[in-house]
Structure 1
């Protein structure tokens, strides 16, 4: 299949995804990047956000937080600290995590704690955004 590339997403706990896809967009730490079939090889650290891919003309979403993405030989390998398909995200849990992070952010005095709190808030908001992007079975 010359018009597709292999996308594999793994975490320390499990293989999240292994599919032939048409496009991958991911949140690099320096900004989002996109990969099409026959892309030049590269390696990028991942930030917190929503990875999206196209398969059969439909968009699918995966929340990722931290890790690396490697592109080579018509394959994108994502080694993420955290990765959840949009369909797997528990919206109530994410909303509670967001509320806790916002509450902590209002009380924070130390710079280190502020950094941790902002990271927790970013993760919660990204999960909620991913879930709302993938309302119908992970597609939009």
Structure 2
């Protein structure tokens, strides 16, 4: 028996990352992880920093995202991501360097440091490393 599928489109401001039919998509919402299957009721939510996992048949694929908007309609799912990067495309050295820079900024006692930006940079870099399988 064939599994029901839903149409998924993942876009960033720069490009189309993915378009196709999937059996499920799991994403990090502002209230936690959620998973969408075919036939889900429509809804709209904010994406958090984390991993979008799509499943085509038995093959899961991972995408690192830094946030955005996730919309479910009867016609399918649209993800408008701030950034999105396939796990296999993540530059691990660059992500590790970004994590180290953010950690150094947070460890400094400089009052001119924007701690919120440094914490967000640390979260993004840590997520990229986790999705790439390096943490």
TM-score, normalising length: structure 2: 0.92
Deviation at 1:108, TM superposition (A): 4.9
Aligned to 1:132: 133
Per-residue displacement from partner, 1:53-93 (whole Å, max 9, x unpaired)? 11121211001112100001141100011011111111110
Specify which structure has the higher proportion of helix. Answer: 1
Aligned to 2:77: 76
Contact residue 87 and residue 131 of structure 2 kept, 8 A: yes
Structure 1 moving runs of 4+ over 2 Å = 108-112
Deviation at 1:7, TM superposition (A): 1.1
Residues in 1 aligned to 2:23 and 2:93: alpha-carbon distance in whole angstroms? 32
Residues in 2 aligned to 1:102 and 1:13: alpha-carbon distance in whole angstroms? 29
Residues in 2 aligned to 1:46 and 1:17: alpha-carbon distance in whole angstroms? 17
Unmatched 5+ stretches in structure 1: 134-140
Aligned counterparts, 1:1-140, within 5 A: 3-108=4-109, 110=111, 113-132=114-133
Deviation at 1:96, TM superposition (A): 0.5
Deviation at 1:114, TM superposition (A): 1.3
- C-alpha RMSD over aligned residues: 1.8
Residues in 1 aligned to 2:113 and 2:69: alpha-carbon distance in whole angstroms? 24
Residues in 1 aligned to 2:125 and 2:47: alpha-carbon distance in whole angstroms? 16
Unmatched 5+ stretches in structure 2: none
Contact residue 37 and residue 74 of structure 1 kept, 8 A: no
Contact residue 106 and residue 115 of structure 2 kept, 8 A: yes
